[in-house]
Structure formats: C-alpha cells, structure tokens
Amino acid sequence: MTIKDFGARVVSVWEGLRPMTKKMLVGVLQERSGNLPTAQAQKFSYDTHADWELSRLLSVLDEQIKDAEVKKNAGKLREIKQLAETCASVLQAQTESAEVFIQLAERFIRGNDFNRLDRLADVLSERFSAGEIAEIIRQTELAQIRAIAYETLTVMPVPFLLPLLDDPLYFEIARNALEQQAFEFENDDAQQILEQLEFDEINGG
C-alpha cells in the first residue's frame, strides 16, 4: 500500500513535504519496523519547518482514521495509524511548539493514553521556554492541558518567569504562577516580585 491509497488530503500534504522530511519519516518508519539501524536513523535532521510539516500531516492522518470508509479497510487503517503514530512520536521527541504540544496532548487525551500524556508533560520542563509554556496556557481550551502547563511554570526558576510580566498576553499567567510559588511553595523570590508588582500598581507604575 502506498501514500496514494491514504486519501486525497493525505496525498496533498505528503506531496508538499520537503524531501528531507519525507526521508526522515521513511527512516523512522523503517527503524520502528526493525529494518534500519538506530544509528543511521538518528542522522536525520530536524527543524521548525519539519515540525510544522509533521503537525499538518498528523492532522490529516487523524482525520482519515475517523473516516467511515477507511475503517472498513483494516489494512489501510493499520498503515494510516502506523504513519500517524510515527509522526506523533517524532513530534513528541523534537517539538518546542505550543501548538504542537496542544495537538499531541489533545490526541493522547482522546485516546485515553495517559502514560504518553505524562511523558509529554515531562518534555515541557526539559525543552520548552517559559514563553511557549505560557502560550500553551493561553491557547488551550482543555483544563487538563492548562493544569499541566501551569504545573511546569510553577517549578521554573523565578528569573525565567520575569520576561513574561512585560508581555500583556502573559502577565496574568506569570502572576498566577508566581503566586503559587510564593504561597504554596513559600518561595521568597516570588513573594518579593509580587510585592513589587503590588507596589507598582498602587503607585501607578
């Protein structure tokens, strides 16, 4: 079975991928099936454009998985799921994007795959900036994802949160995180920042 059998939307997105992204995906698929040595698979490069490409491909693959006609063909459904899982695995291992994090988290929640959701949550503190984590909170509509992101912000060093206070989009998010650090974790640095914010508000600063 080939990509052409996966439906017009999948074909359209696949044909729009750069050769390097296609090569990476094929390599990871071969590695997962045991047909490619791990050392060779790790040579594939990754960048923010690949992030966007894989995210888009994953979206159309997930749409196809829900298609009634596709569900009637067990072989096609299995291969579409395999490619979708490959995209999701690469994104989970590489992404630093708020939008992609939300996409993956929603996918794992829909599938009740809470082990993978936990592993995805671990990625936030390891790889994401405070700004991207705040963007997750701002964009997501799911309380569960928002809670995961807030939990990560509240254990970040206070200096990492300070730039967020200068951005109107993230001010309240950063303030909430600092309040949790100050009152739940008794963080003196966070308390001092909050006192300064209160002083500035009272004095019109």
> pLDDT by residue (tens digit) across 75-93?
999 999 999 999 999 999 9
Instruction: Report whether pLDDT(40) > 90.
Output: no
Residue 122 lies in a domain: no
Instruction: Report whether pLDDT(34) > 80.
Output: no
Instruction: Report whether pLDDT(103) > 50.
Output: yes
pLDDT tens track for 154-175: 999 999 999 999 999 999 999 9
Report, as an integer, the average pLDDT of 42-48: 76
> What is the model's pLDDT at position 143?
97
Confidence grade of residue 36 (pLDDT, cut at 50, 70, 90): low
Residue 187 lies in a domain: no
Residue 24 lies in a domain: yes
Instruction: Count how many domains the chain has.
Output: 1
Domain assignment of residue 43, given as a range: 1-94
Residue 181 lies in a domain: no
Residue 88 lies in a domain: yes
**How would you class 109 by CB atoms within 10 Å of its CB: exposed for 0-12, middle for 13-18, buried for 19 or more?**
middle
Instruction: Report whether pLDDT(39) > 50.
Output: no
DSSP-derived letter for residue 204 is T
Q: Lowest-pLDDT range, 25-34, 38-47, 78-87, 100-109?
A: 38-47
> What is the model's pLDDT at position 37?
53
Residue 117 lies in a domain: no
Residue 64 lies in a domain: yes
Residue 62 lies in a domain: yes
pLDDT cut 90: percent of the chain above it? 80
Report, as an integer, the average pLDDT of 129-134: 97
